[in-house]
Amino acid sequence: MSADVVVGADGIARCAWATGSLDYLAYHDREWGRAVHGDAALYERLTLEAFQSGLSWLTILRKREAFRRAFAAFDPDVVAGYTEADVARLLGDAGIVRNRAKVTAAITNARALRALRHAEGEEHSTGWCGRTRHHGVVGPGRAPPRTCPPGPRSPRRWRPGSSGAASSSWGRPPRTRRCRPAASSTTTSPAVPPPR
């Protein structure tokens, strides 16, 4: 067995990082590596990961219930209606990470999700429509080629901005690169993405 895997007292093999605390253990067993479905659950994950930037994930896990209270159980429709008074309230809440940029990004992201749902329709807003055109087994680390049938706006999906806190690029189609011919097998240069 790999050094990255540890068998616990309960006989269950887990990633070694999960054995450091009960919070990590519960997260590993119930959530880590599993798909997240539904707007509130996806918005929660996005928000928590943005707040985690620069901090330990364990810190965020331990503050998760306070985040749920502060952000209306991560209901994006409620958070989208937050005002400057709500920002001030959140910045005074010692139970969460009090960072103005992250708080305002969470509100902006809720508004972007609401706008995306309005533009795309509920079924397609976050890319999980419950239908797939892929048949057969999908191996670890591989996703079906398409989770929703193509539509007139199918390239538009819920995408966070590059900073992890901002959301200015949500709903925009992803940038694409032109494919380059594969290097010959005699090339010894490292695999580096082509320059833009």
Which residues are annotated as catalytic?
27, 49, 57
- Collapsing DSSP to helix, strand or coil, 7 comes out as strand
Residue 15's φ and ψ, nearest 5 degrees, are -60, 145
* Cα dihedral value 27, 30, 31, 35, nearest 10: 180
Cβ burial 30-61 (10 Å sphere, 16+ → b, else e): eeeeeeeeebbebbbebbbebbbeeeeeeebb
CB-CB contact of 170 with 116 (8 Å): yes
CA distance 72 to 75: 6
